[in-house]
């Protein structure tokens, strides 16, 4: 499939908290793909929502910070009400996910898959240790619980068919939303494929708290695995 010819089948959703100019740059770099880009602003205090709007995104705003999961849930409600595309591509707005790699997801959108999960494990040497260890732990726990060897369960760069998103009620407020989404899609019978993406750690900073958020991810897995 020609990636650009498939651009009418997908929308992009970017949850963000204080993304600033990095977010605006991501939105601008997505423009050549011709995809509707939605930004769900999680109560940013740095003008992220206005920067995203000026860069060409459709923006959903929250008055106060609620967490990544809260932003994704809010953004999905607005996106799926307004757009009627077959897929949603999820990516972060801090520069860790490269817009130039979205065509890799578009090219993989075919009848044999419903869920595309980015994997950075071929570049594991680029991970900070405090991110790599909990990532591998979480992936192993999910493999053990679900029987699915998803290589990079904490990668937020992914795509899911809207038919599956409409069938799941997401509950998570924080980073554990990605684990919840993954487990619920697999439980619904989603056929998945890993898509290699770059591991980019270039001074972006992070809102991820290794101990606290890894604990929440593990508890989420226990709640939602069957």
pLDDT at 4 over 50: no
Q: What is the DSSP letter of 117?
A: E
Percent composition of the chain: helix, strand, coil (DSSP 3-state, to 5): 45, 15, 40
pLDDT at 224 over 50: yes
Rg for the chain (alpha carbons), in Å?
Answer: 16
CA torsion sign for 209, 77, 159, 10 is: negative
Tokens at residue 109, please? 């959108």
Q: According to the model, what pLDDT value does residue 151 have?
A: 74
How many Å apart are CA 79 and CA 167, to the nearest integer?
15
Q: According to the model, what pLDDT value does residue 173 have?
A: 83
13 CB contacts (<8 Å, ≥6 apart)?
38, 40, 72, 75, 76, 79, 88, 89, 90, 91
Residue 2 falls within a domain, yes or no?
no
For residue range 187-202, what is the model confidence (pLDDT) as tens digits? 899 999 999 998 776 7
For residue range 93-144, what is the model confidence (pLDDT) as tens digits? 998 899 999 999 999 998 789 999 998 766 655 555 556 556 666 666 666 6
Q: According to the model, what pLDDT value does residue 3 have?
A: 46
- Report the candidate in 205, 14, 193, 7 with the shortest Cα–Cα distance to residue 98: 14
56 CB contacts (<8 Å, ≥6 apart)?
27, 28, 31, 37
Q: According to the model, what pLDDT value does residue 164 have?
A: 95
Largest CA distance in the chain: 45
For 49-75, what is the mean pLDDT?
A: 95
Residue 194 falls within a domain, yes or no?
yes
User: Which domain does 79 fall in, by range?
Assistant: 8-224
Q: Tell me, what CATH number does 140's domain have?
A: 3.90.550.10
Residue 12 falls within a domain, yes or no?
yes
For 196-209, what is the mean pLDDT?
A: 69
Beta strands in the chain (DSSP E): 10-16, 37-41, 58-61, 87-90, 115-119, 158-161, 192-196
123 CB contacts (<8 Å, ≥6 apart)?
198, 199
191 CB contacts (<8 Å, ≥6 apart)?
112, 113, 114, 115
Q: Count of alpha carbons within 13 Å of 202, Cβ hemisphere only?
A: 9
- Report the candidate in 69, 80, 164 with the shortest Cα–Cα distance to residue 116: 164
Residue 59 falls within a domain, yes or no?
yes
Q: Please count the structural domains in the chain.
A: 1
Share of the chain above pLDDT 90, in %: 53
Split at pLDDT 50, 70, 90, the class of 1 is: very low
Q: Which residue has the higher pLDDT, 204 or 16?
A: 16
Tell me the pTM.
Answer: 0.82
Q: Which residue has the higher pLDDT, 200 or 180?
A: 180
pLDDT at 15 over 70: yes
Residue 3 falls within a domain, yes or no?
no
Split at pLDDT 50, 70, 90, the class of 178 is: confident
Helix (H, G, I), strand (E, B) or coil at 18: coil
Residue 161 falls within a domain, yes or no?
yes
By the 10 Å C-beta count (0-12 exposed, 13-18 middle, 19+ buried), 216 is classed as: buried
Q: According to the model, what pLDDT value does residue 150 have?
A: 74
Residue 1 falls within a domain, yes or no?
no
Q: According to the model, what pLDDT value does residue 158 have?
A: 95
C-alpha to C-alpha distances, 51 to 19, 44, 48, 207, 215, nearest whole angstrom:
9, 11, 5, 20, 33
């Amino acid at each position: 499939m020609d990636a650009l010819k498939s651009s009418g089948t997908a929308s992009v959703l970017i949850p963000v908290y204080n993304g600033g100019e990095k977010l605006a740059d991501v939105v601008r770099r997505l423009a050549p793909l011709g995809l509707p880009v939605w930004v769900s602003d999680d109560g940013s205090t740095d003008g992220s929502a206005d920067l995203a709007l000026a860069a060409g995104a459709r923006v959903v705003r929250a008055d106060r910070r609620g967490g990544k999961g809260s932003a994704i849930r809010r953004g999905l409600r607005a996106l799926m009400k307004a757009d009627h595309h077959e897929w949603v591509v999820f990516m972060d707005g801090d520069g860790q996910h490269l817009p130039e790699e979205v065509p890799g997801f578009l090219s993989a959108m075919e009848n044999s898959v419903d869920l595309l999960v980015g994997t950075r494990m071929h570049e594991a040497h680029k991970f900070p240790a405090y991110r790599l260890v909990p990532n591998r732990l979480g992936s192993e726990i999910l493999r053990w619980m679900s029987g699915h060897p998803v290589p990079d369960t904490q990668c937020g760069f992914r795509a899911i068919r809207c038919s599956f998103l409409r069938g799941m009620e997401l509950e998570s407020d924080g980073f554990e939303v990605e684990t919840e989404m993954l487990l619920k899609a697999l439980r619904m019978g989603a056929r998945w494929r890993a898509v290699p993406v770059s591991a980019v750690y270039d001074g972006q900073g992070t809102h991820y708290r290794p101990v606290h958020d890894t604990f929440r991810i593990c508890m989420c897995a226990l709640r939602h695995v069957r």
